[in-house]
Structure 1
């Protein structure tokens, strides 16, 4: 076998792996490797972690994962009752944590004037902050041409600008203390476009644009960034989703589907990503992962394929066959 044949075989094998393995995985290959051979979530024991959007969904279950690992937690969201419930379960998950190790700090992220006070409170309470998890946000279901510009602004205020405001304050703290870790819950929609969610896609794309340059600006400051990109996850996100009209909520319960990653599994994989300081991770079932790798490996073919599959198929793929027309 000559050199060119060997190179050709290697290339074919490389792409084959990236297209076949997602059929048996629920995350990207590096994250799957890290789960098996990398640092466990328990390696985060003793870290102080601040989670926004901690009252439900992925944020809630991430709190349980990190509590079990022995992290000290700050739980933020607007719903105090739900935060108290999450705190109680965190303490049940790890009997070695005391009441002072899990702090409930209610916070409306849209009120940017409260961010500096919140950061100072966290630092004064725990003496340090090691990891900030920006998990708060809302999704969207809307027809592109009908979206009110006010909705675009509201989405970016919540899903982008509130995150940037809080993160910049925390990064200043990290620069003073010798490092830290910013984690951002993005979405597969932050990498690839999906229909009927234009503003959501734009906001998630913006997060990648904002956070990826941080490595270039602080290459030697020990500040890590992890972008977590879930696909369809079994959480009740649709009811609170933005629509095309300002002040309106989508108001439909999310279907239960085996094609979705559970919130518990997503949170655990997120913990693995944080422990191993992975830069970007994808968490999803096989159909979405295969499409993602196909677009990365064979963009022209993937574009033709998507065009011929049609929008209905892509919408079903986006919501794991759970899409309903309102």
Structure 2
């Protein structure tokens, strides 16, 4: 199997998402594309009431229309709420808007953010700052507004979409990996602060490579420089499979989910249980990845594609 054994067990013997999540109010950031968009579709089919947030309001309305067309939800069950994670001063009012509309928030899914494809020696520090402001501080800011509402009710769930590079680093993603490490440290430290609230779940989803549009919007060496090559997506886990496993995890109270196809999942088990060996493998694969990236092969397909030759 290509997923963590905990998720495998939960999917076979535990609570089914379509039963556990029905009727719950779920706020999704980054809901206009990729994993966030697929989360909206699958949660709609589960019968969850949704708040869809991202910067692009027109895309959010497109996602809402699809949710309504493919589920039993009514128009009033899906709130489109444009949100910029960088505008932290707006997060309090956005949260109040959700509370006024639905009365409470059962689940916050921190999915918004951007990735990176660039070598650190060629990357502006401004890129690292932008990544940290968006992926880390934006997520912390919204969590800061939502969590007190959950402690008042004594229940709720916060699912944050981290990454396998939040557990072990990867070349070409130094800044991005740092933000995911920061999220892991933050939420792993927050969880034991909430021991007086046993019905509040702090959960981390750590996907490996997933078929998503995130690559087309990555940071590169400079803030406004687009990525040169998106590359093949065929070797990555399908987005719908990744999202299904996330929902299985949250329906069954899983605190950390490793979601990846092989050989990526095996690599991170090596990091967990045999770190000295993992360092050796990291050096070998990292060198290959950087060489292929310099040759013009997209980073995500570097392990599966030979470098271009002239």
Q: TM-score, normalised by structure 2?
A: 0.91
Task: State how far apart, in whole Å, the 2-side matches of 1:324 and 1:58 are.
Answer: 28
* Cα drift, residue 267 of structure 1: 1.1
Matched, 1:271 2:252: no
Task: State how far apart, in whole Å, the 2-side matches of 1:251 and 1:26 are.
Answer: 30
* Cα drift, residue 40 of structure 1: 0.7
Q: Is the 8 A contact 2:114 2:214 kept in 1?
A: yes
Q: Is the 8 A contact 2:171 2:289 kept in 1?
A: no
Q: Structure 2 residue aligned with 1:93, among 70, 82, 90?
A: 70
Structure 2 CA distance for partners of 1:239 and 1:251, relative to 1, 3 Å:
farther
Structure 2 CA distance for partners of 1:108 and 1:102, relative to 1, 3 Å:
same
Task: State how far apart, in whole Å, the 2-side matches of 1:139 and 1:226 are.
Answer: 21
Structure 2 CA distance for partners of 1:59 and 1:160, relative to 1, 3 Å:
same
Task: State how far apart, in whole Å, the 1-side matches of 2:50 and 2:224 are.
Answer: 32
Number of residues of Structure 1 aligned to a counterpart in Structure 2: 300
Task: State how far apart, in whole Å, the 2-side matches of 1:323 and 1:113 are.
Answer: 45
* Cα drift, residue 304 of structure 1: 2.5
* Cα drift, residue 308 of structure 1: 4.1
* Cα drift, residue 301 of structure 1: 2.2
Q: Structure 1 residue aligned with 2:32, among 43, 55, 74?
A: 55
Q: Structure 1 residue aligned with 2:94, among 103, 118, 125?
A: 118
Q: Is the 8 A contact 1:134 1:185 kept in 2?
A: yes
- The corresponding residue for 1:206 is 182
Task: State how far apart, in whole Å, the 1-side matches of 2:299 and 2:122 are.
Answer: 21
Task: State how far apart, in whole Å, the 2-side matches of 1:315 and 1:49 are.
Answer: 42
Matched, 1:46 2:23: yes
Q: Is the 8 A contact 1:194 1:318 kept in 2?
A: no
Secondary structure at the counterpart of residue 213 of structure 1 = helix
Equivalence map 1:174-323=2 (5 Å): 174-221=150-197, 222-257=199-234, 259-309=235-285, 311-312=287-288, 319-320=300-301, 321=303
Which runs of no fewer than 5 residues in structure 2 stay unpaired? 293-297
Q: Is the 8 A contact 1:241 1:251 kept in 2?
A: no
* Cα drift, residue 306 of structure 1: 3.2
Task: State how far apart, in whole Å, the 2-side matches of 1:323 and 1:139 are.
Answer: 21
Secondary structure at the counterpart of residue 103 of structure 1 = strand
Could you give the per-residue CA deviations for residues 20-70 of structure 1, whole angstroms, max 9, x where no partner exists? xxxxx2211111111111111111111000000000000000111111011
Matched, 1:129 2:110: no
Secondary structure at the counterpart of residue 93 of structure 2 = helix
Structure 2 CA distance for partners of 1:67 and 1:310, relative to 1, 3 Å:
closer
Task: State how far apart, in whole Å, the 1-side matches of 2:78 and 2:104 are.
Answer: 14
Secondary structure at the counterpart of residue 189 of structure 1 = helix
Structure 2 CA distance for partners of 1:167 and 1:262, relative to 1, 3 Å:
same
Task: State how far apart, in whole Å, the 1-side matches of 2:105 and 2:200 are.
Answer: 12
* Cα drift, residue 247 of structure 1: 2.2
Q: Structure 2 residue aligned with 1:172, among 124, 140, 148?
A: 148
Secondary structure at the counterpart of residue 245 of structure 1 = coil
Q: Is the 8 A contact 1:231 1:318 kept in 2?
A: no
* Cα drift, residue 243 of structure 1: 0.9
Q: For the aligned residues, what is the CA RMSD?
A: 2.1
Structure 2 CA distance for partners of 1:314 and 1:34, relative to 1, 3 Å:
farther
Task: State how far apart, in whole Å, the 2-side matches of 1:309 and 1:140 are.
Answer: 18
Higher CA-based Rg: 1
| Mean CA deviation greater in 99-108 or 236-245 | 236-245
Q: Is the 8 A contact 1:306 1:314 kept in 2?
A: no
Secondary structure at the counterpart of residue 206 of structure 2 = strand
Q: Structure 1 residue aligned with 2:45, among 68, 90, 95?
A: 68
